[in-house]
Chain A
Amino acid sequence: MSDKKPERREFLFTTTYALGAVGVGAVAWPMIDQMNPDASVKALASTEVDVSSLTPGKTITVLWRGKPVFIRKRTQDEIAEARSVKMEELKHPEKDEDRAKDPEWLVMLGVCTHLGCVPLNDRGDYNGWFCPCHGSHYDTSGRIRKGPAPLNMEIPKYEFVNANTIKIG
């Protein structure tokens, strides 16, 4: 009988602590989750862009979800350059064919994958983009070639609504 009592006590303590922890967690989570992107931010999911004015070699920058998106109509030289690169030379190997389904059009987030700056057009050692913040060089397919950035610039979900309009998101 005297052996049994402490076990009962311990069980009660353990269940009380466990329930207490669940309670604290249940109160803490709303406080943490309120900082996540809210419904109004998530609602701004897609943007339609008119690209009829673009000539080869020109880039426009549009804002999508608060971030710049580069839309570039590439020249034949740029396409050839991007497609001739061997996979072994790339830090983050991705085929240009996968990044630009229509080779003329490159649509990507204009955000350096290092620390989020906006790279500059037609600069850098690979004739693509150059990030002024910490010196990352991207090629004509937006792939990282040199510098501290770990990944290629991201390709968002997009589609051609008609010949002149791209819908991003």
Chain B
Amino acid sequence: MSEHDYIPKSKFGKWFNDRLPLLSLASHLADYPTPKNLNYWWTFGGILTFCLITQIVTGLTLAMHYIAHADMAFESVEHIMRDVNYGWLIRYIHANGASMFFLAVYIHIFRSLFYGSYKSPRELIWIIGIIIYLLMMAAAFMGYVLPWGQMSFWGATVITNLFSAIPLVGEGIVNWLWGGYSVDNPTLTRFFTLHYLIPFLILGLVVLHIWALHVPGNNNPIGIDIKKPSKDTVPFHPYIVIKDGFALLMFTIVFAFFVFYSPNILGHADNYIEANPLVTPAHIVPEWYLLPFYAILRSVPDKLLGVIAMLSAILILAALPWLDTSKIRSAVFRPLYKQFYWILVADVLILGYIGAMPAAGLYLLIGRVATAYYFLHFLVVLPVLGFKEKTIPVPLSITEPVLGGSLNLAIAKNKESLDK
């Protein structure tokens, strides 16, 4: 950004920019050279920014009416739903917004997995992303506790009890988290505080995520390094802005469908019953976006090992840039990886389904196989594939295959130019 030679036109603009180079930053963002072959899978970064802002705005307005107290929380949520002007709308946007946020983040992550966006030199973007994802899960979990319904209460009990698996200090940590000997008012008030804090932490990390992205620039569907600016790039504004905007519009249609036509389909009816510490609902299930990890937790018969397996399933992603030994980024040129990629997608979907089912019989068996395969993919398949796989030759630039006619012709030409 420092080498950027933007000079504002107006005298005031120049005066301001010399003292605080905000206009230079805006110009950097607008002119930023972007690969011209970015497809719609690349629009989810913008969509996620929209989701974060939506959650912050609706969350702030809900906080004006919500009361974080064990005796009043449940009623205050009903008060929001029935009495507060447009309270129902704001709450439904916020509740479904969490699901939309995760939907978008999963597409964003799986796009990265397909096109190898996590590989050098983008490891830090990826790791910051994983931290954001972890914070999102923490925020979503604590947010779900706030209405103080049955699922809130028992979800909080089960998740905080995960820490009791830690040898020796586990129980002390759980009592510290609760501020008592069970989930109760002190737990609710601290969860509210943290739920309020985390989105702003995420916002800060998003800035780092984008900053780190703007060092090497975007990856692209064919996963090659490109010169920027060049024939292979277009400026971010207006090209990507319009494309992102259109995708966002499509996304908000889906969002609006949930908010207006089935606002409770992603929730659980049990959460409209006020929290009762004496009765556990017959079937405790987390929100859909946590189900695959819940399935991993339940598929291990030992308490401590189950917790370790669940945490590893997320943390293993941070090591992905080093577990994947292939030099080729995009799955387009990796015929075997492409197949394993889709098997992994299926595996995660199966885990999600198993997480929603009771942990017994055939479900348990399938869950165990799927859990084993999940780790196998990252710990065995990816490292080995990098050495064994015969990849398809990669074009030298985005433009070349297009100008050279068919892809094969272009590849032949690439070989020629490489041989020279």
Contact = CB atoms under 8 A, between A and B. Distances in A.
Interface of A: 32, 35-38, 41, 61, 63, 65-68, 114-119, 131-135, 147-150
B393 interface: no
Contacts of A61: 278
B302 A117 contact: no
A63 B180 CA distance: 14
A68 B283 CA distance: 18
A6 B180 CA distance: 51
Contacts of B159: 115
B278 A41 contact: no
10 contacts: A35-B176, A36-B175, A36-B176, A37-B178, A37-B186, A66-B180, A118-B278, A133-B154, A148-B300, A148-B303
A145 to B, nearest CB: 13
Cβ-closest 3 pairs across A and B:
A66-B182, A116-B161, A115-B161
Contacts of B183: 66
B187 to A, nearest CB: 10
Given A66-B180, A133-B154, 5 more contacts: A37-B186, A133-B284, A134-B359, A135-B359, A149-B303
Interface in B149-176: 154, 157-162, 164, 175-176
A149 B302 CA distance: 8
A39 B301 CA distance: 38
Contacts of B161: 114-116
Nearest to A111: B182
A32 B160 CA distance: 17
Nearest to B160: A116
Contact of A133 (B176, B280, B302, B360): B280
Counting chain B CB atoms within 10 Å of each CB, the highest count among A38, A61, A117, A133 belongs to A133
Interface string B324-354: 0000000000000000000000000000000
Contact of B277 (A32, A36, A66): A66
B298 interface: yes
A40 to B, nearest CB: 9
A147 B160 CA distance: 20
A117 B179 contact: no
B254 interface: no
Contact of A148 (B186, B282, B306): B306
Given A66-B277, A118-B280, A150 B358 contact: no
Interface string B355-374: 00011100000000000000
Given A132-B280, A133-B284, A148-B303, A41 B298 contact: no
A36 B180 CA distance: 7
Interface of B: 154, 157-162, 164, 175-184, 186, 190, 277-284, 298, 300-304, 306, 358-360
A80 to B, nearest CB: 29
B181 A115 contact: no
Given A65-B180, A134-B359, A117 B277 contact: no
Contacts of B304: 150
Contacts of B162: 115
Nearest to B282: A132
Contacts of B186: 35, 37-38, 41
A65 B183 CA distance: 10
Contacts of A148: 298, 300-303, 306
A147 B298 CA distance: 10
Contacts of B283: 132
A135 B182 contact: no
B181 A66 contact: yes
B284 A65 contact: no
Given A117-B284, A118-B279, A38 B182 contact: no
A36 B174 CA distance: 9
A24 B162 CA distance: 30
B184 A66 contact: yes
Contacts of B178: 37
A79 to B, nearest CB: 26
A134 B279 contact: no
Contacts of A149: 303
Nearest to A36: B176
B158 A133 contact: yes
B148 to A, nearest CB: 14
B177 A35 contact: yes
B303 A37 contact: no
A119 to B, nearest CB: 8
B41 to A, nearest CB: 36
A81 to B, nearest CB: 24
A68 B360 CA distance: 26
A54 to B, nearest CB: 17
A134 B283 CA distance: 9
Contacts of A67: 181-182, 277
B281 to A, nearest CB: 8
A114 B182 contact: no
A125 to B, nearest CB: 11
A21 B161 CA distance: 32
Contacts of A116: 157-158, 160-161, 164
Counting chain A CB atoms within 10 Å of each CB, the highest count among B159, B176, B182 belongs to B182
